Structure 1
Amino acid sequence: MDELADRFFAAVSAGDTETLTSLYSPDARIWHNDKQAEETVSENLRVLRWLSRTVEDLRYEDIRRHCLPDGFAQQHVLRGHLPGYGALEVPASLFVRIDDGHITRIDEYVDSAATQPLREVSDRTRR
């Protein structure tokens, strides 16, 4: 579990969608508390690509991971530099289910106040 988790977060930080695609089950779903909605793999990859292109020095720190029988739970702080805003710090927790070596579901809980700058940048770039 630790190796898969390390590969997943390294791929997110690098914007490596090829590795992320190989780690996800094709029918995986990713749920976010701040949207109260699920994403498909392709929708999630689009968001993660945008995140890695937009946030400079994107990294996961203060990691606390717990292996579970069917996956892992992780608490961390996503850090980086968001141009036009400065330092970005987003506390988050993920519950990740794994089946047959592939991620089948992620339930992500983030501090929605900390993600406000990301939403503002996203809204500006969509106009």
Structure 2
Amino acid sequence: MSPQDHLALAERFISALEAGDVEAVRGVYAPDAKLWHNNDEIEQTVDQNLRVLAWLIHALPERRYRILRREILADGFMQQHVLEGVLADGQPFAMPACVVVQAKDGRIIRLDEYLDPAAGAPLAAQARRAKTVSAAP
């Protein structure tokens, strides 16, 4: 893949995430892609990752990725960004993160994501509140 191919893949990936288009994200991933996060050190499959993404779309329906830095690598790209949105209670949400992506044949084959779980705490708390409310009689 050329540097332009890696850049186009990064753009397709972020556009699909911002649009909340789970199937478009699936199309960006290779079927056997592995997705890892530093906060739990678990390597996810595509289906596992897309379930988390579906939850994120529901929990943060208005979101955007403010790109701080993107570097093309020989086998993919590195991107530093801030996921921004508004929580259900109206509070602004921002979570800095960095992803290192390996690509082959125009698709992501591995994604390593680095984030501070404390920054995601307000989003997780919102999800717990919603779960408690929906379980109430």
Q: TM-score, normalised by structure 1?
A: 0.92
Shift of 1:126: 4.7
Which has the larger helix fraction?
Answer: 2
Q: 1:55, 1:82 within 8 Å by CA — same for their partners in 2?
A: yes
Instruction: Find the partner of 1:20 among 25, 31, 37.
Output: 25
Task: Give the paired residue count.
Answer: 127
Which of 46, 49, 71 is the matching residue for 2:51? Answer: 46
Contact 1:33–1:109, Cα closer than 8 Å, also in 2: yes
Is 1:55–2:63 an aligned residue pair? no
Percent sequence identity over matched residues? 45
Amino acid at match of 1:110: L
Question: Per-residue displacement from partner, 1:14-46 (whole Å, max 9, x unpaired)?
Answer: 111121111111111110111121111011111
Equivalent in the alignment of 1:95: 100
The answer to whether the Cα contact below 8 Å between 1:28 and 1:40 also exists between their aligned partners in 2 is yes
Instruction: Kindly indicate whether the alpha-carbon contact (under 8 Å) linking 1:91 and 1:111 is maintained by their aligned counterparts in 2.
Output: yes
- Which ranges of 4 or more aligned residues in structure 1 deviate by more than 6 Å? none
Distance 1:4 1:62, change over 3 A: closer
CA distance in 2, matches of 1:9, 1:110: 17
**Cα–Cα, structure 1 residues 32 and 85, in superposed 2: closer, same or farther, change >3 Å?**
farther
TM-score when scaled to structure 2? 0.86
Q: CA RMSD in A?
A: 1.5
Distance 1:18 1:80, change over 3 A: same
| Deviation for aligned residue 1:94 | 0.3
| Structure 1 gap segments, 5+ residues each | none
Where does structure 2 lack aligned partners over 5 or more consecutive residues?
1-5, 133-137
Query: What corresponds to 2:120 in structure 1?
Result: 115
- Code of the residue aligned with 2:51 in structure 1: it is R
**Are the aligned partners of 1:85 and 1:117 in contact in 2 as well (CA < 8 Å)?**
no
Partner in structure 2 of residue 9 of structure 1: 14
